[in-house]
Structure 1
Amino acid sequence: MTVQLSVVVPVYGVERYLYECLDSIRAGLTPEENARVEVVAVDDASPDSCGEMLDAYAARHGNLRVRHLTENVGLGLARNAGLAEATGEFVWFVDSDDVLPAGSTRAVLERLRETTPDVLLIDHLRVHDDGRVEVDASSPVLSGPHTLENLLGLQHTAWNRIVRREFLTENGLEFPPGWYEDVPFTKPVLIAARSIAVLDRVCYHYRIGRAGAITATRSERHFEAFEQYDRLHEWLAARDVPDSVRHRMFTLTMNHLMVVAGNDTRVLPVHRRAFFHRIVQLYRRHQPAGYQAPGGAAGLKIRLVAAGNYSMYAALRAGYRVAGLRRRSMQRTPPVNPGAASTSQTGQTTSIR
């Protein structure tokens, strides 16, 4: 039977989560559905026992292909290595510390069969190690309207979009090395797509805050985001992209970089001023003609970047942090049950053709 879906799983330092992730991919599939799915795991020279765990899993279940890399190349290049091994019509990049809730792979297979798009977008939940679950701020995008400008606001991760493999080859789309490797991949995937389908269903549980995760690591490597955004905007500049899309992408770029700048778990306070001024430089390199910052707090931050005014930004950030701490102290909500939340979506879908 022809493989419809290749699930590529890059693996590094995730002994605690690996088997749960692999088990969740095929959970509940019928034999016929199972035959349409292949799983390709890439051992990115993991320093723990993940490589041996993958081999043992493949020997026990017989439905996992494992590629062992001889040196650590990072998440993006490990995904590329898995993509090179994939044979399915579509590719889904799943991170090895995350989990697919029950019925997710079946729902994805059904939607792909119905629409055969270049890209299928799915919803997710943010799952903390302490059991707390959150709906992502970008999830309402999937409810519509399903315009390109709106869909570009979906969180820019590889795992919330399933992509037709031949479409990636035709457009030369793959992951670059370094941190923030999703940036110059996920946005071009949407912009270049001729058809986008939406599955408004939680099909992914994204684990956040775990020790060792990039988003929870203070490091100068967060400055690598600027090289990735340069790649993205150079890609845009080389193509005939409508001004509305170009302006939307620039706003999203500024918003994301300001989030990174203000995040204590990523940028060390001693590096924050330098990070801000790198945002200023990127703003001046890539500002589209006729661009105007939006209104509201996000727009105010962008205008401070345009002015190069770090002192005002720092004062504004301090004020927001005080207000946020007060608000959180007054709002104590009980944790959401991940299983219940994963079935709360209607599963309604819309395609863009």
Structure 2
Amino acid sequence: MSVIVPVYRVEHYLGACLDSILDQGFADFEVVAVDDASDDGSAAILAGYAARDNRVRVLTLPTNRGLGAARNAGLAAATGDYVWFVDSDDWLTEGTLEAVAKRLAETDADLLITGFARVFPDGRIRHSPVTGAGPAPAAFRLAELPGLIKLLHIACNKVIRRQLLVELGLAFRPGWYEDVAFSLPLMIAADRITLLDRYSYGYRQRDTGSITRTVSDRHFDVFDQWGFVFHFIDDRQAEELRAPLFARAVWHQLQVLNHSARVPRPRRREFFGRLVDFYRAERPAGGYEFPHGDEGVKQRLVARNAFLLFEALRAGRRMQTQAARRVAPPRQRDTTKPPVPDAVP
């Protein structure tokens, strides 16, 4: 197995990430660490680990190329039968590699999807178990369990047969939201998917440095990434998956627009217009049933191209949320799972 770790400006977290991988009881793996021209102390940390442990190989990119390109460079250098992309501010929980290897041996899967947890700076832990997709056989295709489409589409909870990626020619595309155009085509194409019902991956949520908290025009990239997914559906004639993928795409694009720290205010109408264009171009020919509740109301406004009504609804919901927060009791920490690995101060 090859564990690919892209590295950029993570000197405070990198050691904890690498320790969580190298200290596993299972040892038949390599770590391909890709230094994406990081300008902090990450390079020295990587050099120290490579000198102490021959399972660690370091690739150094001459210029900063971004997360997707760094992952692609690691993939090109990987030699394992399976690859796992682990972000360098995250970690694997104890016993994970052994559990993954056992499950792969039992199922001969092309793709293993494991549970993970988002861990917040205030100590909150939000678990994302794979059981949320519904009951699953040992190995299956996505059309047999379309509920997987509703889970968070990240690359980091997926262990992938490397030969499948070679055959598909699938790599991370440039731009933000690159996991959408990687994970979903991968799930569509895999003949044998298996699930590992285990909290295996700690997904650190940082207050800074995340695209989810960055106001930028680059959030428009979400349309290109989802467009690639629907071209993939057309190329593989996977029409049975169009409706659930369409529902998820519209939900995701609305999530981006609804977030107060993503789309610049002067370009919100334009973003809404792009969403309307996507909705009309990719809506399933056999019809589409709107979801219930607020989500269904918002999607009906998209279908009608009713931007001003959409903005009025959003403003009203934000006022309700702010009022509810003022009277809500303090959140309690979830202490039922292993703690977050300490970052270097």
Fold shared by both chains (TM-score > 0.5): yes
1:144 lines up with 2:141 in the alignment: no
> How far 1:92 sits from its partner (Å)?
0.6
For 1:54 and 1:112, locate their aligned partners in 2 and report how far apart those are by CA, in whole Å. 29
Q: Is the 8 A contact 1:209 1:215 kept in 2?
A: no
Matches within 5 A, 1:1-353: 5-29=1-25, 33-34=26-27, 36-136=28-128, 139-144=130-135, 147-243=144-240, 245-296=241-292, 297-328=294-325, 329-337=327-335, 339-340=337-338
Distance in 2 (CA, whole Å) between partners of 1:145 and 1:114 is 15
**2:13 aligned partner, one-letter code:** Y
* Gap regions ≥5 residues in structure 2: 138-143, 341-345
SS at 1:42 equivalent: strand
| SS class of match (2:91) | coil
Whole-angstrom CA distance in 2 between matches of 1:127 and 1:234:
34
Q: Percent identity?
A: 43
CA distance in 1, matches of 2:210, 2:122: 15
Give the superposition deviation at 1:140.
4.5
Assess if the C-alpha contact under 8 Å between 1:121 and 1:161 holds in 2: yes
Q: What's the secondary structure of 2:115's corresponding residue? A: strand
- What amino acid is the match of 2:135? G
CA contact (8 A) 1:209 1:216 kept: no
Task: With the length of structure 2 as denominator, give the TM-score of the two structures.
Answer: 0.91
Q: Which amino acid aligns with 2:157?
A: N
8 Å contact kept, 1:73–1:177: no
Structure 1 runs of 4+ aligned residues shifted over 6 Å read: none
Structure 1 distance, partners of 2:18, 2:212, is: 23
**Superimposed CA distance per residue, residues 131-150 of structure 1 (whole angstroms, 9 cap, x where no aligned partner):** 221224x7542453573311
RMSD (CA atoms): 1.9
The code of the aligned residue for 1:339 comes to: K
SS of equivalent to 2:98: helix
Contact 2:113–2:130 (Cα < 8 Å) also in 1: no
Contact 1:122 1:203 in 2 (8 A): yes
Would the aligned equivalents of 1:158 and 1:182 in 2 still touch at CA under 8 Å? yes
Instruction: Tell whether the 8 Å contact from 1:125 to 1:134 is kept in structure 2 after alignment.
Output: yes
Task: Measure the CA separation in 2 of the matches of 1:189 and 1:107.
Answer: 22
SS at match of 2:285: coil
In the superposition, the TM-score normalised over structure 1's length comes to 0.89
**Which 5+ residue runs of structure 1 have no aligned equivalent?**
343-353
Between the two proteins, the alignment pairs up a number of residues equal to: 332
Pair 341,51 (structure 1): closer, same or farther in 2 beyond 3 Å:
closer
Shift of 1:208: 1.2
